Amino acid sequence: MKFSVVITTYNRLDLLCRAIDSALNQTIPCEVVVADDCSSEDTETYIRSLGESVVYHRNEVNKGHAATVNAGVQKASGDWIKFLDDDDYLDSKCIEQMAKAIALCPEAVICSCIAAQVNADEVELSRTPQVGSGLACYIPQADIHYGMLLEVVPFGTPVQVACQREAFCKTGGWDSQLDANCDDIDSWIRIAQFGEAIFINQCLAYRTIWPGAYNQKFSLSQRLETNILMKEKIYALIAEKHRSHVPAFEDIKNYLKLHWILVALKQKNLQSFVSMLDKSLFSPFAWRLLVTAIFSRQSHTSNSPIRKCVLIESGLTDG
């Protein structure tokens, strides 16, 4: 099994250096690919100085985040792709632990892990929740989309996720129409149609929370609309065995609206708060789902309603 770490970048050389170092310093060998969305010459000069340790691709013109991810994957030669944005970085054992887990579940096409959210000074702010108990959890394909719908299978942002290259190519890659606004989640939804999933309950990735992040260019209303679109796509893929107890889609929409209304309130964004106000505030299911999600995040564990979540521990270590 060969891993390729695909790092996308655009004019963030100071942060890119950290991302590249984290990929080059993995405890097992892996290919490092930098896909550059037509940054300034300083970026290319630095990467060229690294010689053959990094595979480099540069877009001739600026094409956006999704297209740059696709170009990086095309350049990669690994069986598995580990995604990494230039403002994030990996634990030194990320690839090793993912490779061990995947070896135990050969039908897997997507693998994720816990990530720590850090500020610009690399101070940890929070962590994404774990799935079930044990060091890793294997999720059968028939349960993945149901888990994504109820947010108990949190594949998360690119820094958390790796996928089988073949499955990625079958989906046609990332959708540029969504560019940086759930283009990653949209990809996970489609990749999950081709096999099983693994979630590793170890913190192996670090996501930087800062004003320059890609998703900060979108309004809260835009992010809400795209979240609803993602849930619609997931809802359509729910396996038949879960159909009898899946919530009504209107309830899911109300939960999303309530979530983003409260985000606007927390950010003191009065304009967005007022524009998004609606009957979702009076939905008992929306509040119940919100409280469950908040409790899950605070306790760092997700008590999954998925009927079959097989723990895999043999061959994995916390080290």
In the predicted structure, residue 319 carries a pLDDT above the cut 90: no
In the predicted structure, residue 315 carries a pLDDT above the cut 80: no
* Alpha-carbon span 263 to 251, nearest angstrom: 18
pLDDT, residue 41, reads: 82
In the predicted structure, residue 16 carries a pLDDT above the cut 70: yes
The domain spans of the chain are 3-215+307-311, 219-301
- Please check whether residue 203 is in contact with residue 127, taking contact to mean a CB–CB distance below 8 angstroms: yes
User: pLDDT tens for residues 69-97?
Assistant: 999 999 999 999 999 999 999 999 999 99
pLDDT, residue 40, reads: 87
- Residues across the chain: 319
Q: Which residues partner with 301 through β-bridges? A: 130
For residue 232, the surrounding DSSP H or E stretch is: helix 220-236
In the predicted structure, residue 12 carries a pLDDT above the cut 50: yes
- Please check whether residue 91 is in contact with residue 203, taking contact to mean a CB–CB distance below 8 angstroms: yes
pLDDT, residue 305, reads: 41
Q: Specify the fold of 3-215+307-311.
A: Spore Coat Polysaccharide Biosynthesis Protein SpsA; Chain A (3.90.550)
In which band, very low, low, confident or very high, does the pLDDT at 314 lie, cut at 50, 70 and 90?
very low
pLDDT, residue 317, reads: 52
In which band, very low, low, confident or very high, does the pLDDT at 300 lie, cut at 50, 70 and 90?
very low
* Alpha-carbon span 7 to 13, nearest angstrom: 12
In whole numbers, what is the pLDDT of the chain averaged over residues? 89
Please work out, in degrees rounded to the nearest 5, the angle formed at the alpha carbon of residue 318 by the alpha carbons of 313 and 319. Answer: 135
